[in-house]
């Protein structure tokens, strides 16, 4: 079966690109400003709705562009809690994005803020052993327009403003750096989605060269590292990327980041029973965090059907956190929202694509076999 061609979305087009395009069509630069007003402020779903443009210009734009390339397949979770959106793409594949309300206990009168966890790829090639995103392998990168459209789709569906973006959904963002950077520009720009750069966080499994490139990026975005193991021995068991970029190389890149940036790094650490929740790992993690003046976010493992990992007891979680706190590390323990809606990255997508026969069940294909 042939795969439909990737449609070019106006949501993935910058103002400068539009200005050059309309100039080639014999129009003034002002027309480009009108187009982005319709796209990002008024959020029209079709080019035909841009009524202050001539029929001729709308027809020319419609030949090259579209405004929506995905549909909301399902939404899981209640309106006042974490909600997971399963989005169907133009080629029939699926991605997930998760809307997370702020906790009143943490944010008080700012608890109406909403964070969207955005995907950057269909699947993932990095095979982290605890994660559902890569169980069916890697399919493709998302375009800049598809990254931006996740925000547009969720805001349209909920009628709620997204205040923060975290690139912590499906895929490895830094393996799609070109499209990611363009999407961030559009998400940040005053003519675009208009979300502050400091309200966007890129999470990576540890691609050291790309971290260095991102450190030179002009916008003051934040960085989170999916660490999940404080020694090479432990990290390699669950994160194959560590074999290519071991901790010494990773932390060298992070030193470069901190020398160029004021924003503090966050070290993400999923606690898995009997794998990385030992107190000696907590002491090593404290040492790494102190070196970088980093924040630590502890996340009890979110169960994935078919994988053997378990979350530690709350007593064990608290003991791990206490080691970090006593070492003077600013630490949060996120007993996550969404455990009851399969909010771990990739779970709903995996279930949907398996049921539709798009992919073979990972259990049947052997994809659930774990390395020692």
User: 74-98, pLDDT tens digit by residue?
Assistant: 999 876 788 999 999 999 999 999 9
- Determine which one of 117, 268, 345, 353 is catalytic: 345
Task: For the beta carbon of residue 8, count every other beta carbon within 10 angstroms.
Answer: 14
Cα(334)–Cα(29) distance, integer angstroms: 48
Nearest of 137, 166, 36, 147 to residue 89 by alpha carbon? 147
Q: What is the mean pLDDT of the chain?
A: 87
What is the arithmetic mean of pLDDT over 217-229?
95
Residue 117 annotated in active site: no
Residue 345 annotated in active site: yes
- Sorted by where each starts, the structural domains of the chain and their CATH numbers stand as 10-64 (1.10.150.530), 71-365 (3.20.20.70)
* Residue 363 scores a pLDDT above 70: no
Cα(147)–Cα(217) distance, integer angstroms: 18
What is the arithmetic mean of pLDDT over 99-127?
78
Q: What is the pLDDT of residue 124?
A: 86
Q: What is the pLDDT of residue 114?
A: 95
* pLDDT: which is higher, 6 or 359: 6
Q: How confident is the model at residue 352 (pLDDT cuts 50, 70, 90)?
A: low
Q: Among 213-222, 228-237, 263-272, 338-347, whose mean pLDDT is lowest?
A: 338-347
Share of the chain above pLDDT 90, in %: 73
Q: Is 184 helix (H, G, I), strand (E, B) or coil?
A: helix
Cα(58)–Cα(214) distance, integer angstroms: 37
Nearest 10 degrees: Cα torsion 279, 280, 286, 292: -140
* Residue 46 scores a pLDDT above 90: yes
Q: How many CA atoms lie within 13 A of 177 on its CB side?
A: 14
* Residue 181 scores a pLDDT above 50: yes
Q: What is the pLDDT of residue 360?
A: 52
* Residue 341 scores a pLDDT above 80: no
Which residue pairs, CB below 8 angstroms and at least 24 apart, start in 80-83?
Answer: 81/337, 81/338, 82/337, 82/338, 82/341, 82/343, 83/158, 83/341
Q: How confident is the model at residue 7 (pLDDT cuts 50, 70, 90)?
A: confident
Q: What is the pLDDT of residue 78?
A: 72
**Tens of pLDDT, residues 121-144:** 998 888 777 776 656 678 899 999
* Residue 167 scores a pLDDT above 90: yes
Cα(9)–Cα(297) distance, integer angstroms: 35
* Residue 358 scores a pLDDT above 60: no
* Residue 221 scores a pLDDT above 70: yes
What is the arithmetic mean of pLDDT over 291-316?
89
- Determine which one of 27, 96, 146, 185 is catalytic: 96
Nearest of 339, 265, 346, 328 to residue 299 by alpha carbon? 339
Q: What is the pLDDT of residue 102?
A: 80
Share of the chain above pLDDT 70, in %: 85
Q: What is the pLDDT of residue 291?
A: 95
* Residue 112 scores a pLDDT above 80: no
**Tens of pLDDT, residues 26-37:** 999 899 999 999
């Amino acid at each position: 079966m042939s795969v439909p061609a990737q449609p070019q979305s106006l949501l993935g087009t910058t103002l400068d690109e539009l200005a050059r395009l309309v100039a080639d069509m014999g129009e003034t630069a002002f027309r480009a400003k009108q187009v982005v007003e319709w796209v990002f402020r008024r959020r029209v779903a079709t080019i035909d709705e841009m009524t202050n443009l001539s029929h001729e210009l709308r027809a020319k734009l419609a030949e090259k562009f579209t405004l929506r390339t995905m549909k909301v397949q399902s939404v899981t979770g209640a309106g006042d809690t974490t909600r997971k959106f399963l989005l169907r793409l133009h080629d029939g594949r699926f991605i997930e994005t998760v809307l997370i309300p702020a906790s009143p206990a943490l944010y008080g009168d700012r608890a109406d803020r909403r964070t969207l966890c955005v995907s950057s790829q269909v699947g993932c090639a990095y095979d982290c052993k605890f994660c559902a995103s890569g169980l069916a392998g890697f399919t493709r990168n998302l375009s800049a327009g598809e990254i931006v459209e996740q925000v547009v789709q969720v805001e349209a569906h909920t009628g709620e403003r997204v205040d923060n973006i975290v690139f912590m959904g499906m895929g490895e963002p830094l393996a799609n750096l070109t499209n990611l950077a363009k999407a961030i520009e559009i998400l940040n720009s005053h003519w675009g989605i208009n979300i502050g750069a400091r309200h966007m966080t890129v999470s990576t499994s540890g691609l050291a060269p790309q971290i260095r490139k991102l450190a030179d990026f002009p916008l003051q975005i934040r960085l989170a590292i999916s660490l999940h193991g404080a020694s090479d021995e432990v990290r390699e068991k669950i994160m194959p990327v560590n074999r290519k970029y071991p901790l010494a190389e990773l932390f060298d890149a992070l030193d470069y980041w901190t020398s160029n940036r004021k924003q503090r790094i966050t070290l993400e650490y999923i606690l898995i029973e009997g794998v990385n929740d030992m107190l000696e790992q907590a002491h090593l993690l404290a040492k790494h965090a102190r070196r970088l003046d980093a924040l630590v976010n502890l996340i009890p493992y979110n169960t994935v059907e078919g994988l053997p990992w378990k979350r530690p007891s709350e007593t064990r979680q608290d003991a791990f956190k206490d080691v970090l706190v006593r070492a003077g590390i600013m630490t949060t323990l996120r007993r996550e929202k969404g455990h009851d809606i399969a909010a771990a990255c990739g779970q709903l997508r995996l279930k949907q694509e398996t049921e539709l026969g798009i992919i073979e069940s990972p259990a049947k294909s052997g994809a659930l076999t774990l390395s020692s």
